């Protein structure tokens, strides 16, 4: 086809690319009254068209496949990924396929072009879809009531299926919708998260809907996913709330409010109805020292539930340099026993020690401390049953420590390549004055494992976990193999 017509095939790909250029046509053989004058000038300004050394475009000559491939490659380099239409993406895909050989001859990697096309395609219509699949195989020594909460000696099941939906509203780019559909273990899928984000003036944002509140994310060590520490007050999904955040030069302010309400005829004295409020103020005084101050209040509405409580806390963080960080948290709770909790963490990055990273953690929790996060007292690899020995469940999904608890944890994570990484973990539990089954409930936990990243999307993990107490009858161990796919 002639060059004048050929350029029409690529002009749509860059017509929406910012910033705008003046349509000054540099070619002497394209008159100003020509129907393609502006299009040729725009493409020339962006470097998509170059013409001939004598300053002509020669639009009436047939275009060669080489010239078309050159224009296509240069067009792709400047295309605006955020503003492509579905028609533009389809055109680009067809052109890449059609001129694959010529692009190879030019030294243009078609796989890289394909990745750019994939980015374009992911944003078509503002929708983005991604997900996670997780399949676990676990075997333990003890059957039934083992310390890991596995129903049989051999347990194999899908433990996670997640679909993430993200939609930027086309009529208002300051508004987006996010939803996470999740199911596992044969349970029916449910919308664990479903909310809208609304960008407000003055660097602030409002999130409304079912969401996760996680204000302790940098206090977790999780090289395998379940070998981790959960948050005492947050790290909870499915909270129906309004969440407001405001950024400023030295930090950020966060505020959320939630109401949990049940049908009174079905739950006349359940005690689960409550209001919940949280506020956090973070300061970064300089590149080395930061401080976060937080407050959380949960107010139940039934007299049968004497669990109303407020917790204030402080989280300091001192960064010696990019490889050495000291951080932690102190919690003070307004309940009858006035319990407190401490957490101190010293983290060393692998770049400092070369062969491994280190995570040293100390936790001290007073008896009577209440948390709205039912998983907060595990502190251990998959040992879902052990926390029941020193904590008890309460109304409203709360849990309370019944004996003073001290937990030490040491973690080491080694990244050998983009394909392989390994980890070691040790945890020691000291539970004051608690006995169960005739033995003191103090315990030790050891873990070792590796991750093999078969592809960027597929990871295979194998871990061995050992649990010891003063009574051999409660000792157990587990082999855990996981297949994880991100898509």
CA 234/CA 231 separation, integer angstroms: 5
The helix (run of H) or strand (run of E) holding residue 320 is strand 309-321
What span, in angstroms and rounded, lies between the C-alpha atoms of 444 and 426?
7
Give the closest residue to 377 by CA, choosing from 359, 351, 403. Answer: 403
Q: Which of 3, 13, 5 is nearest to 75 (CA)?
A: 13
* Angle (CA) 413 415 416, round 5°: 135
Angle among Cα 88, 94, 95 to the nearest 5 degrees reads 90
Selection from 85, 63, 99 nearest residue 12 by Cα: 85
**pTM summary value:** 0.69
Question: How many residues are present in the chain?
Answer: 487
User: Is residue 216 within 8 Å of residue 228, measured between CB atoms?
Assistant: no
Q: Can you give the pLDDT at residue 444?
A: 86
pLDDT value, residue 15: 47
Smallest CA-to-CA distance from 360 within 411, 432, 287, 413 is with: 411
389, 391, 395, 396 alpha-carbon torsion, rounded to 10°: -120
Three-class DSSP category at 270: coil
**One digit per residue, pLDDT tens: the chain, 487 residues?**
444 444 545 554 554 443 444 455 556 666 666 555 565 666 666 566 666 666 666 666 666 666 666 766 666 666 654 555 555 666 666 666 666 676 666 666 555 555 555 555 555 456 788 999 999 998 887 665 666 666 667 788 888 899 999 888 877 778 889 999 998 877 788 899 999 999 998 889 999 999 988 887 777 777 765 555 667 888 777 889 999 999 888 889 999 999 876 554 444 444 556 788 999 999 988 889 999 999 998 877 655 455 677 899 999 999 999 899 999 999 999 877 789 999 999 999 999 999 999 999 998 999 888 887 766 665 554 555 565 556 676 666 677 888 888 889 899 999 999 899 999 989 888 877 655 554 556 788 889 999 999 998 999 999 998 888 776 767 888 899 999 999 8
* pLDDT in the model for residue 375: 65
> In the chain, what are the domains?
3-122 (no CATH), 126-486 (2.40.160.100)
Query: What's the pLDDT score for residue 467?
Result: 84
Q: In whole angstroms, how far apart are CA 475 and each of 220, 303, 354, 483?
A: 26, 42, 35, 27
Q: How many angstroms separate the CA atoms of 256 and 14, rounded? A: 43
């Amino acid at each position: 086809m002639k060059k004048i017509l050929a350029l029409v095939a690529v002009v749509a790909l860059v017509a929406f690319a910012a910033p705008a250029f003046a349509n000054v046509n540099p070619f002497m053989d394209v008159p100003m009254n020509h129907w393609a004058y502006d299009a040729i000038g725009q493409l020339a300004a962006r470097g998509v068209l170059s013409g001939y050394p004598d300053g002509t475009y020669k639009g009436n000559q047939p275009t060669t496949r080489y010239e078309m491939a050159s224009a296509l490659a240069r067009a792709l380099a400047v295309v605006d990924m955020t503003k492509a239409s579905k028609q533009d993406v389809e055109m680009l895909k067809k052109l890449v396929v059609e001129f694959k050989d010529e692009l190879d001859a030019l030294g243009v990697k078609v796989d890289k072009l394909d990745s750019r096309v994939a980015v374009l395609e992911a944003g078509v219509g503002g929708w983005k879809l991604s997900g996670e699949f997780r399949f676990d195989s676990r075997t333990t020594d003890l059957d039934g009531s083992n310390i890991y909460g596995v129903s049989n000696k051999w347990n194999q099941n899908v433990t996670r299926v997640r679909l993430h939906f993200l939609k930027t509203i086309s009529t208002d780019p300051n508004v987006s919708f996010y939803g996470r559909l999740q199911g596992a273990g044969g349970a029916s899928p449910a919308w664990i998260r479903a909310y809208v984000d609304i960008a407000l003036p003055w660097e602030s944002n409002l999130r409304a809907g079912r969401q996760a509140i996680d204000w302790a994310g940098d206090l977790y060590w999780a090289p395998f996913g379940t070998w981790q520490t959960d948050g005492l007050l947050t790290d909870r999904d499915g909270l129906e709330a309004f969440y407001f955040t405001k950024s400023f030069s030295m930090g950020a302010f966060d505020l959320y409010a939630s109401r949990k309400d049940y049908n009174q005829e079905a739950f006349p004295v359940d005690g689960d109805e409550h209001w919940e409020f949280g506020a956090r103020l973070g300061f970064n005084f300089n590149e080395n020292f930061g401080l976060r101050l937080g407050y959380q209040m949960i107010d139940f509405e039934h007299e049968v539930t004497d669990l109303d409580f407020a917790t204030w806390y402080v989280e300091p963080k001192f960064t010696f340099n990019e490889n050495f960080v000291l951080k932690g948290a102190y919690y003070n709770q307004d309940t009858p026993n006035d319990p407190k909790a401490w957490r101190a963490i010293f983290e060393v990055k692998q770049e400092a020690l070369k062969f491994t990273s280190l995570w040293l953690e100390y936790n001290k929790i007073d008896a009577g401390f209440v948390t709205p996060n039912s998983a907060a007292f595990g502190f251990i690899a998959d040992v879902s049953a052990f926390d029941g020995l020193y904590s008890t469940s309460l109304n409203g999904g709360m849990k309370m420590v019944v004996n003073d608890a001290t937990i030490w944890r040491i973690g080491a994570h080694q990244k050998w390549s983009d394909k392989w990484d390994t980890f070691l973990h040790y945890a020691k539990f000291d539970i004051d004055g608690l006995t169960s089954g005739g033995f003191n409930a103090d315990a030790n936990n050891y873990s070792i494992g590796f991750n093999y990243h078969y592809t960027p999307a597929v990871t295979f993990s194998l871990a061995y976990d050992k649990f010891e107490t003063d009574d051999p009858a409660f000792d157990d161990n587990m082999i855990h193999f996981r297949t994880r796919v991100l898509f």
